[in-house]
Amino acid sequence: MVTILYIASNGESIHMQSVEEKSAICSFGRAKMDTIETISQAGAGLFAARPVGRGGFVSRIVRMVKSLGRWIDGLLERRRSRLALLDMTDDQLKDIGISRCDAHREGIRPFWD
């Protein structure tokens, strides 16, 4: 779907009655254009920047796999930090302001939580 926004200048109205007046709206300062020509020319730039063929598909798959890898790495890092809390001594936990009960509660949580 293509949406064309036109800002009317002084004296123009969207309620013009004749075909000539309606087609004059699409002129944009150049030679007069039909509505279909305006839409096709406006839409030409929309698809030019999008990758075509397998290259675009492969790049999307690569981005998805990298994103999945970063997500899994975050989950594993969370798990490693929770296990580190379980390995700390009472003095170390006291230094960071966490009780043994809090450390145990955090350490037994699943990695996806």
Per-residue pLDDT of the chain (113 residues; tens, 9 = 90+): 555 655 655 555 555 455 455 455 444 455 555 555 555 555 555 555 555 566 788 899 999 999 999 999 999 999 999 999 999 999 999 999 999 999 999 998 887 77
- Domain residue extents for the chain: 1-50, 54-107
Matching residue, tokens 């004059």: 24
Q: What is the pLDDT of residue 98?
A: 92
Q: What is the pLDDT of residue 88?
A: 93
Q: What is the pLDDT of residue 55?
A: 72
- Taking each helix axis as running N to C, give the angle between helix 54-87 and helix 100-107, from 0 to 180 degrees, rounded to the nearest 10: 150
Query: Distance between CA 65 and CA 96 in Å, rounded?
Result: 36
- On the CB side of 14, CA atoms within 13 Å amount to 4
Query: Residue 103 burial (CB < 10 Å; 0-12/13-18/19+)?
Result: buried
Predicted TM-score (pTM) of the model is: 0.46
Q: What is the pLDDT of residue 62?
A: 94
Residue 46 · residue 70 · CB < 8 Å: no
Residue 99 phi, psi dihedral angles, 5° rounding: -80, 165
